[in-house]
Amino acid sequence: MKRTVDVNIPLGPIHPCFKEPARLKCEAKGERIVGAEVELGYMKKGIERIMKGRPWQEVMFLAERVCGICSVIHNMVFIEAMEQISGISVPPRAAYLRVIVNELDRMQSHLLANFSYCYTIEHETLGMYLLDLREQVMDQLERLTGARVTCAYIIPGGVRCDIPRNDAELLQASLDRIERDLRRYSGMFAEGPMIALRSRGVGILTQEAAQRAHVVGPTARASGITADCRLNHPTYRQLGFVPVSRTDCDNFARVMVRFDEVFQSIGLIRKCLQDLPAGVIRGGGVCKAGETRYSGEAPRGELTYFIKSDEFGRIVDIQIQTPSIMNIEACCHEMIIGADSIADVTSTFVSADPCIACTER
């Protein structure tokens, strides 16, 4: 509901703490925030409009560029939606490789999100440690797929390239190193008294409010909601996936959930490498006409594609519901309200891991 207040504090579009442009208009009473509005429009490229009428071969690359941070999951969800429409089955080895790449992507995204949070609360040392750790994950991603960011690894009916034995061993060794370092860094975050002062009890998002706004991903799992789309994914079910969750509802819980999920991802990748089935990595198939709704778990939460395709595999209608839409909305209309100072606004906003490129497309 629109109101008029006397103090209006705009943050953005260019702000040292925000990776991307967004305009936050905070209504304040003294320094206490009583309301906030977000105005977007700095990143609206119209990807969905470009996608319409194009064949899947082109849309695949466009889908990947909806978001550069979580590009693998956009690729995966789009391709799996097309597979669901066309009834294409995936060879087991390819399905496991998909999970490996997706979890590596999740690890780098979570590490980047936690880096941003540490950077925002001015704990630069820990931030730099995490950013350095992320480079090791990026190395593994590059070794496996051939590119650091937009790798287009997943194709209908399989994946683009296999994992050689040598790479698998290097990946194992790298995971051991990452786990050892991350255990130390997450301990630093969990036990740092100054970090706790800035994070615990700040930016409360109650479970009811989270449910109303359809909050997803680590933001929801920090508020006690155990929803996770990986539970519905056949490969993850084979791996015996169980989501992590916390009930603290604050910034601290959100960051810790991300740390926990990185450990969980390391475990999933290890399990995949251990049970990696032999066989082909491409089954082939033809994309057909149909309409579907398909969800996958992005690093930020549930990502849904609504796709309608024609008989030649062209996209007739598409809408992408990215997790950041729900998370930013809840962040600005629930979490920020009642923050004690403007400094808490930026840290709370960053703790929800906002991705404006996803939100506007």
Partner 1 sequence: MTTYLYEKDLVPQKYRILVAYRHDILVRQIATELDIPVQELRRYLIEHFDMILLENLPARVEMADAHADQDDPVALVLGREKYTLYLQIMSGAAMESIFHAVSDRVRAGTAMEDAIAYGRERIREELRR
Partner 2 sequence: MTLLQRIKNMVRARSIHVAYVDVGSCNGCDIEVLACLAPRYDIEQYGIFVHNNPREADVLLVIGAYTPGWEEKLAMVWEKIPDPKAAVAIGNCPISGCLFNRRGSFVDPPVKKHIPIAAEVPGCPPRPTEILQAILSVRDSVFANWEESHP
Contact 303, 322 (CB under 8 A): yes
Based on the shown chain and the rule CB under 8 A, indicate whether residue 38 belongs to the binding site for partner 1.
Answer: yes
d(CA 220, CA 75): 23
**Does position 1 bind partner 1 by CB under 8 A?**
yes
Six-digit token pair at 170? 């290097």
Q: Which of residues 5-24 bind partner 1 (CB under 8 A)?
A: 23
Q: Which of residues 207-226 bind partner 1 (CB under 8 A)?
A: 211-214
Count of residues of this chain found to bind partner 1 when the rule CB under 8 A is applied: 28
| 167-116-151 Cα angle (round to 5) | 35
With binding defined as CB under 8 A, does residue 14 bind partner 2?
yes
HSE, side-chain direction, 13 A CA sphere, residue 353: 33
Binding mask 319-358 for partner 1 (x = CB under 8 A): x-x---xx-xx--xx-------------------------
* Angle (CA) 151 156 160, round 5°: 40
Q: Which residues contact 283 (CB under 8 A, 6 or more apart)?
A: 88, 89, 90, 91, 94, 157, 158
Angle between helices 71-86 and 92-120 in degrees, nearest 10:
150
With CB under 8 A as the contact rule, which of the stretches 11-19, 175-183, 233-241, 266-274 interacts with partner 2?
A: 11-19
In whole angstroms, the minimum distance from the beta carbon of 225 to partner 2 comes to 26
Place of tokens 């309608």: 308
Q: Which stretch binds partner 1 (CB under 8 A): 98-106, 188-196, 221-229, 311-319?
A: 311-319
Stretch binding partner 2 (CB under 8 A), from 42-50, 153-161, 164-172, 221-229: 42-50
**Binding to partner 2 by residue 21, rule CB under 8 A?**
yes
Query: Of 138 and 269, which has the nearer Cβ to partner 2?
Result: 138
Closest CA to 260 of 102, 103, 138, 110: 110
Tokens of 274: 């251990």
Q: Which residues bind partner 2 (CB under 8 A)?
A: 13-16, 19-21, 40-47, 49-50, 52, 61-62, 65-69, 71, 112, 115, 128, 131-132, 134-135, 138, 148-150, 355-358
Q: Which residues bind partner 1 (CB under 8 A)?
A: 1-2, 23, 37-41, 44, 46, 48, 211-214, 306, 317-319, 321, 325-326, 328-329, 332-333, 359-360
